[in-house]
């Protein structure tokens, strides 16, 4: 019987639902859930961008009035709440949600030849828990005191003491913690689902070393998530107890806040939170970027018409980035007064991440080298990803050294660094993923010209925004401050702020092109064929969009790795993973 069991017993994993609600709202289908995650991230990214726009306006023109924010210039407290919510929404609900929950959910089961995720019901739950988390987070804007001020890192004691530390630190901060705790639960459910799916549901012939690098990236990301989010959840619970139950995990004694002595707490340590937070926080950086690396690897290979350079090296590089990612959290705490010996250890581990990162970069360039490159929109975004990852990564080598970090840590240098390497690099991964998988997801092609126009505004745009921040930082401009008027040595830098803000306005406006492209193409784009990019992986063997159970009751059998391009002697210049034809140099 063997593998034919599936074909004669042609039941889907679950029957295709008929009603609108079961089909599009509370769906068990990984494809629908992936698109739901993707739309959630799309919503969140516009909320997050709007917040950053307000911050940029405040920085460029400190005394101007802005709509929706009441009369008069924006207060520093409002600025801090925008900063907090921008960071939180972007990190959790965009960078964690779309690359993994969105594209991973959509493409991973198809790419390994499965009809759905291992636990479809859990999958639905993880999306809806994440959705509720987002709703709770946004609701913090609308409660008394407004959104919290403590930054996306929510450092105690300020985050632990309640409304006395500022507007938004009361109910708003409590909602923030609850939202993050919910997010952790959703992310953990998702992570265990991804891992079980990848381990157990690969189709016949899909050995580990034949998996597309996207699948490896999502798999490793899921492992990181599984190990990291539980720790953040623990920290969140302790923080909530400090706030609501009167405990003193993070709150030291003898604090004077708003001219009042805090007598009800003693003996705790804010550093304890920092350790718990960054033990999660650093792997989180890789949770955001690894799926982008996977997508870039895939897309660079497809559009260079060449096998990925060093497939195994790519896999091992991602694995070592994942492992090292858990050993470097201390580099976020160099200025916390840690022992120079610990700092040295963290520094050595941090800098050694440069090795696998360089391997990946080398291999991406090696993949493109001498290829018959097709400069489609997804390819441009993928190249943009590599560029931004390199630019942002290089400044990481500066910051990984305690002696330099002591100076640069609380300056715009760090803002420039992490926005390039974690923020927009990952965003470019999402642009690439969206344009690449859009034909599969919606059955229609996106508009190429509009995509390229969007790329050519956005790519220089993000450099124009974040590169000058490095100079601001080296000049000693502190970050997180709404207002530096009166700080004489910074007065000369004000034109740089204006420049950055103008660049931000242009770049943010250009994002409308992307959205217009998405919605126009969804309804009016030309119909997509099964395999418009001439790629080899399994999602391109099924109709666009795929049927409910992906493979229409007949499970694929895999004969090759995912990167058989420009195969000598083959009928076309690529060999599908499902094609039984022999490949002379079949290395993996």
Partner 1 sequence: MADTAARNEPQLYIGGGGGGVRERDFGDYGGSGLPPGTARRVYRTGMWMALVAISMLFVAFTSAYVVRSGLSDDWQPLALPPLVWWNTLALLLSSFTMEQTRRALTEGQRTACNRWILATVVLGTVFVAGQLLVWRTLVSRGIYVATNPSSSFFYLLTGAHGLHLLGGLIALLYVALEAWRYRLGPAKRTLVEVTALYWHFMDGLWVYLLLLVWLWR
Residue appearing with tokens 């580099």: 331
Provide the minimum distance between the beta carbon of 423 and partner 1 in the complex, in angstroms, as a whole number: 26
**Quick check: 81 binds partner 1 (CB under 8 A)?**
no
Q: Of 429 and 546, which has the nearer Cβ to partner 1?
A: 546
Burial of 372 (0-12, 13-18, 19+ CB in 10 A): exposed
Query: Looking at 12, 50, 506, 522, which residue binds partner 1 (CB under 8 A)?
Result: 12
Per rule CB under 8 A, is residue 216 in the interface with partner 1?
A: no
Q: Between helices 494-524 and 30-60, what is the axis angle to 10°?
A: 150
CB-count burial class (<10 Å; 0-12, 13-18, 19+) for 464? middle
Would you count residue 6 as binding partner 1 (CB under 8 A)? yes
Q: Between 38 and 229, whose beta carbon lies closer to partner 1? A: 229
Between CA 182 and CA 128 the distance in angstroms is: 10
Q: Does 498 bind partner 1 (CB under 8 A)?
A: no
Site for partner 1 (CB under 8 A): which residue of 157, 235, 291, 294?
A: 235
Helix (H, G, I), strand (E, B) or coil at 356: helix
Regarding 50 and contact with partner 1 (CB under 8 A), the answer is no
Residue 338 found at the interface with partner 1 (CB under 8 A): no
Are the CB atoms for 563 and 556 separated by under 8 Å? no
CA distance 408 to 416: 11
Indicate which single residue of 49, 108, 201, 213 sits in contact with partner 1 (rule: CB under 8 A). 201
Nearer to partner 1 by Cβ, of 215 and 432: the residue is: 215
Residues 227, 327, 365, 390: which binds partner 1 (CB under 8 A)? 227
Residue in this structure with the two tokens 């302790």, named with its chain if needed? 238
Residue corresponding to tokens 């919290």: 148
CB 30 within 8 A of CB 79: no
Among the listed residues 11, 312, 372, 572, the single contact to partner 1 using CB under 8 A: 11
For residue 237, state whether it binds partner 1 (rule: CB under 8 A): yes
Write down the least CB distance from residue 537 to partner 1, Å: 16
Single out the residue of 250, 215, 254 nearest to residue 235, CA to CA. 250
Q: Is 270 in the site for partner 1 (CB under 8 A)?
A: no
The answer to whether the beta carbons of residues 64 and 56 sit under 8 Å apart is no
Which residues have C-beta within 8 Å of that of residue 401, sequence separation ≥ 6?
347, 351
CB 432 within 8 A of CB 378: yes
Question: Is 489 a residue that touches partner 1 (CB under 8 A)?
Answer: no
- One of 50, 69, 132, 234 touching partner 1 (CB under 8 A): 234
Q: Which residues between 129 and 188 bind partner 1 (CB under 8 A)?
A: 188
The residues near 146 (Cβ < 8 Å, ≥ 6 apart) are 78, 81, 140, 167, 168, 172
At closest approach, how far in Å is the CB of 132 from partner 1?
19
**Residues in the site for partner 1, rule: CB under 8 A?**
1-3, 5-6, 9, 11-14, 28, 112-122, 188, 191-193, 195-197, 199-206, 226-231, 233-235, 237-238, 241, 245-249, 266-269, 272, 275-276, 279, 549, 553, 555-557
């Amino acid at each position: 019987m063997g593998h034919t069991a599936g074909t004669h017993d042609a039941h889907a994993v679950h029957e295709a639902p008929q009603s609108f609600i079961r089909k599009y709202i509370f769906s068990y289908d990984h494809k629908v859930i992936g698109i739901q995650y993707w739309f959630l991230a799309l919503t969140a990214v516009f909320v997050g961008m709007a917040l950053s726009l307000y911050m940029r306006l405040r920085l460029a023109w400190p005394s101007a009035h802005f709509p929706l924010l009441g009369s008069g210039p924006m207060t520093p407290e409002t600025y801090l709440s925008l900063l907090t919510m921008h960071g939180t929404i972007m990190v959790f609900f965009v960078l964690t949600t779309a690359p993994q929950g969105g594209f991973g959910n959509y493409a991973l089961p198809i790419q390994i030849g499965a009809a759905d995720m291992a636990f479809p019901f859990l999958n639905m739950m993880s999306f809806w828990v994440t959705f509720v988390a987002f709703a709770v987070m946004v609701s913090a804007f609308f409660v008394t005191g407004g959104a919290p001020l403590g930054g996306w890192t929510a450092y105690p004691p300020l985050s632990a003491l309640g409304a006395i530390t500022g507007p938004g630190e009361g109910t708003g901060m409590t909602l923030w913690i609850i939202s993050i705790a919910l997010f952790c639960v959703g992310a953990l459910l998702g992570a265990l689902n991804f891992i079980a799916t990848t381990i157990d549901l690969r189709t016949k012939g899909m050995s580990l070393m034949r998996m597309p690098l996207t699948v490896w990236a999502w798999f490793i990301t899921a492992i990181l998530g599984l190990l990291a989010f539980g720790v953040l959840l623990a920290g969140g619970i302790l923080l909530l107890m400090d706030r609501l139950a009167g405990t003193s995990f993070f709150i030291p004694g003898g604090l004077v806040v708003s001219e009042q002595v805090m007598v009800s707490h003693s003996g705790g340590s804010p550093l304890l939170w920092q350790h718990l937070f960054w033990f999660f926080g650093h792997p989180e950086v890789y949770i955001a970027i690894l799926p982008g690396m996977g997508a870039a690897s895939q897309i660079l290979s497809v559009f260079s018409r060449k096998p990925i350079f060093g497939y195994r090296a790519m896999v091992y590089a991602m694995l070592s980035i994942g492992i090292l990612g858990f050993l470097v959290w201390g580099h976020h705490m160099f200025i916390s007064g840690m022992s120079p010996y610990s700092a040295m250890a963290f520094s050595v581990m941090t800098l050694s991440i440069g090795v696998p990162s360089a391997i990946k970069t080398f291999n991406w360039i090696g993949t493109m080298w001498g290829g018959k490159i097709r400069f489609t929109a997804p390819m441009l975004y993928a190249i943009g990803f590599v560029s931004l990852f390199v630019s942002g990564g290089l400044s990481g080598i500066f910051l990984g050294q305690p002696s330099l970090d002591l100076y640069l840590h609380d300056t715009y240098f760090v803002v420039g660094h992490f926005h390039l390497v974690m923020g927009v690099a990952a965003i470019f991964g999402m642009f690439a993923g969206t344009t690449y998988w859009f034909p599969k997801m919606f059955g229609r092609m996106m508009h190429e010209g509009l995509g390229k126009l969007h790329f050519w505004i956005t790519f220089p745009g993000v450099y124009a925004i974040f590169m000058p921040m490095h100079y601001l930082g080296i000049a000693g401009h502190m970050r997180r401050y709404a207002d530096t008027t009166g700080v004489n040595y910074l007065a000369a830098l004000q034109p740089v702020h204006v420049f950055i803000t103008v660049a931000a306005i242009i770049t943010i406006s250009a994002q409308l092109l992307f959205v217009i492209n998405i919605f126009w193409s969804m309804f009016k784009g030309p119909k997509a064929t099964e395999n418009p990019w001439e790629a080899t992986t399994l999602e391109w063997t099924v109709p666009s969009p795929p049927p409910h159970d992906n493979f229409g009751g007949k499970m694929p059998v895999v004969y090759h790795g995912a990167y058989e391009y420009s195969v000598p002697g083959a009928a076309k210049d690529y060999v599908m993973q499902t094609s039984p034809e022999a490949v002379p140099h079949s290395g993996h």
